[in-house]
Structure 1
Amino acid sequence: MHYLTCPQCQSEFATKDKRAKYCSKPCSNSGRAREKQRLVIKTTSSAKKFNPINKTVPIAEINNSVSTLDDDRPFDVTPSDGSPTYIQFTLNGKEYAESGKRWAAETKEKDVITLAGNGCSLQVDKGQLVLRSGFGCSTVPDRERRFSRGVHAIRAIIVLNTTGSLSTAAIQWCADQRIALYILDRDANLTALTHPHTPHVISLRRLQYLVEPVALAKEILSRKLKACQRIKPELAETLTPFFASIGKAEALESLRLFEARAAIIYWTSWNSAIKWKEKDVPVEWKSFTQRASGISGKGYKATHPVNALLNYAYAILAGQVERVLQIAGLDVAVGSLHSDQDGRASLVFDLMEPLRPQVDRVIFSWVAAQRWRRSDFVVDRQGVIRMHPQLARVVVTKALLPDGVIRDEINAYVGLLKRLGDKPLKLATQQTLNI
């Protein structure tokens, strides 16, 4: 491993390639753009100097024009090497590196370990789990951590938007130690998770397939509204009329309509100002007004920094819920409040609903206490906002709920299945069964 100094942000970084010049892609893009700009100005100045038609330009004026490029102004970078679109943005490499250092210093890892950066790895060596942080996401030095079986006190490992390596021995090590392993991509999508091997519970799955979905959806939506009232007591009076409407509903479409109306009231209650270090941030960033993205109309493809934070928080919540559902032997695709859709774990999204307010309280309280910087976030050419990888580490650590909270919600759902399953069910064959 070689430890070098980045000429763009003047920060030390670790790399395996001794020929590397910059610490990260943003610094590389900004540095190359600056060099090109210098070359253009130098060529133009030389042409004017030796052109007999033009007036001679004083040397001091030429020097001043070049020296202005030595400041930290961001450049509109357009990579020409086939780089992905998410690094095609206007960014100050030095500020981006400082942001990485700041958030890395605030990462408090006790029972949750996070990894970010290109080249991270999880391996097993001499019976120990070896975690190596990436070295490309910021100027945070590369670190190696080793953990022994039975004495590690780790309950979860979260890998964020990286290109690295994961051995099968490491997966087995985590499964044996009942450590949850979550892998999220750069768009805050849960791409993989691990859980101990558990047999499928056919009795519960039959209940899932046979119980009336409207009855399940009513209970889930009621639990969600009660959770909103606990987190936001000022909404108790406003949300109370929805319970009567939920009880009278006879179709899933009606319940989804009530949920959408309640969601508007709920998200409006979180409207608040956001503190920024810079004064020239976009007007839309200075306060939180809505959950919907200006691009997708929903939560994904965030166009507001707070929504980008929430996307990562909800991704790790989805991983927690899905993992416990898998351990319980349930079918994660069979939901009720969320419609059936191929490739979607509808039950996961159903049971996330009563838990979301707890995550919202953690994130919004933390957001209000911070003084944010533009370099904490990156905007691609489409307008989608993504956060600094080191900031993402802090977010997922804060958003991870206690395992007991997740288990209680799943147990409540299982109890609901059994209670509703005791009622006679009318099947398509006109036969009546008691499950």
Structure 2
Amino acid sequence: MYHDANPLFGDADDWAERSEHWIAETSAILPKRRLRQRNPAPLILCGHGVSMRIENGALVIRDGFTHYPQQQAQYRYFPRDLDLPTRILLLDGSGTLSFDVLSWLAEQGVALARVKWSGEIATVASGTGYAADRDRVQWQHDTRADEAKRLAFAADIIRQKLIASLATLETQFESSRAREIAIEKARAGADRLGHQTFNDINAIFAIEGECASAYFAAWHGMPIAWTGTQRRPVPDGWQTYAGRSSLATGVKAENRNASHPVNAMLNYAYAVKLAQMQIQAVADGYDPTLGIMHNSKRGSPALVLDLVEPERPRIDARILDFIKTNNFAAADFVIRTNGACRLSPQLARKVASLIG
């Protein structure tokens, strides 16, 4: 079972009830479509036993199993079907697909991305294949190689991020001293990045870091609403929000392997956006591994890590809205033995649907 030996969950009835709750919440989202428009919403799959196969020229998909009893969804898509999504997201879980499926998806321009429970991208296969645009890749090389251009690019990216963070701070949080400090620092930082010339990228990162610290300090103490805690309690630290660093990463403070539900949702949402932007970058002819601000590492979508920065505060706003309008339960999360917090499959699907 997904929640084996985890005391937070209680019994299978709790798990099934919360799974059905999030299925209903996710199903309520129906994107508007123009006449003859191809389905713009991604197909999000989760759970164990996901199956993708080709049957008589059609793609047949069976969603995964997350709880009992469950009505497992099945989808059948024919070539050029308007209901065929442009993206399929696989959220953790397990299952099978064939080489024929990969070929079919490529022919139909469907991208496939898999996101791990930790909020990391496992793999992305662009539906268009990788056909580099020589001019765009050359721009990446030239900008990366010219230190002045690289610094100007980084300063502009972080400036955009700070401007976006202002909107999140102003709309998502009530007036407080911490909020005003964060707003003041973001405005000052954006102004410096827009007018100052930098000789060292670490000076840009220092501005970002100072503003980020103030930004998340404004979140401190934000309440999280819970239901059923008399019967199934949650850790005391989950009642409010304390900060981005995880308690599951040892002495060094890091954001990965979130130990708090809010951070787990943020990490998952960021990963979904990264996958979405990586697919788009490849489709646009860029080399997603060739970063400008971020250093390129083997297998890392460094360019996408650059481009996603201004999107993070907008993602934060969506997750904050979601947290404010929902009550959570112990069965929505798993605590791993190292203290890391993991979303239940159907909650992960809901979070992905907010971004994808």
Same fold at TM > 0.5? yes
- Counterpart of 1:146 (choices 71, 76, 90) is 76
Identity score, percent: 27
- Counterpart of 1:180 (choices 102, 111, 126) is 111
State the 1:198 CA deviation. Answer: 4.2
Q: Secondary structure at the match of 1:182?
A: strand
- Counterpart of 1:95 (choices 11, 14, 23) is 14
Q: Trace 1:19-418 onto structure 2 (pairs within 5 A).
A: 24=1, 26=3, 77=5, 91-93=9-11, 94-108=13-27, 110=30, 111-137=41-67, 139-149=69-79, 150-195=81-126, 196-211=128-143, 212=146, 213-233=150-170, 236-246=183-193, 247-271=196-220, 272-277=222-227, 278-279=229-230, 280-296=233-249, 297-400=253-356
Q: Is the 8 A contact 1:100 1:139 kept in 2?
A: no
Q: Is the 8 A contact 1:308 1:386 kept in 2?
A: yes
Question: Following the alignment from structure 2 to structure 1, what is the Cα–Cα distance between the partners of residues 183 and 334?
Answer: 37
Number of equivalent positions? 318
State the 1:117 CA deviation. Answer: 1.7
Question: Following the alignment from structure 1 to structure 2, what is the Cα–Cα distance between the partners of residues 174 and 127?
Answer: 12
Quick one: which amino acid aligns to residue 243 of structure 1?
A
Q: Deviations over 1:240-282 (max 9, x none)?
A: 2113433232101111111111111222233311111115422
Structure 1 segments of 4+ aligned residues over 4 angstroms from their partners = none
Q: Is the 8 A contact 1:115 1:160 kept in 2?
A: yes
Structure of higher RCO (CA pairs closer than 8 Å, 6+ residues apart)? 2
Question: Following the alignment from structure 2 to structure 1, what is the Cα–Cα distance between the partners of residues 292 and 131?
Answer: 24
Q: Secondary structure at the match of 1:355?
A: helix
TM-score by length of 2: 0.82
Q: Deviations over 1:362-395 (max 9, x none)?
A: 1110111111111110101110110111111111
Q: Is the 8 A contact 2:131 2:282 kept in 1?
A: no
Q: Is the 8 A contact 1:89 1:381 kept in 2?
A: no
Question: Following the alignment from structure 1 to structure 2, what is the Cα–Cα distance between the partners of residues 176 and 396?
Answer: 25
The more displaced of 134-143 and 297-306 is 134-143
Q: Is the 8 A contact 1:119 1:136 kept in 2?
A: no
Q: Is the 8 A contact 1:198 1:327 kept in 2?
A: yes
Quick one: which amino acid aligns to residue 198 of structure 2?
A
Structure 2, unmatched stretches of 5+, are: 31-40, 171-179
Q: Secondary structure at the match of 2:122?
A: strand
Distance 1:89 1:381, change over 3 A: farther
State the 1:99 CA deviation. Answer: 1.6
**Rg larger for:** 1
State the 1:317 CA deviation. Answer: 0.6
Quick one: which amino acid aligns to residue 146 of structure 1?
R
Q: Is the 8 A contact 1:256 1:337 kept in 2?
A: no
Q: Deviations over 1:334-384 (max 9, x none)?
A: 323323434422211111101111111111101111111111101011101
Q: Is the 8 A contact 1:92 1:375 kept in 2?
A: yes
TM-score by length of 1: 0.68
Quick one: which amino acid aligns to residue 91 of structure 1?
F
Question: Following the alignment from structure 1 to structure 2, what is the Cα–Cα distance between the partners of residues 138 and 385?
Answer: 23
State the 1:310 CA deviation. Answer: 1.0
Q: Is the 8 A contact 2:296 2:302 kept in 1?
A: yes
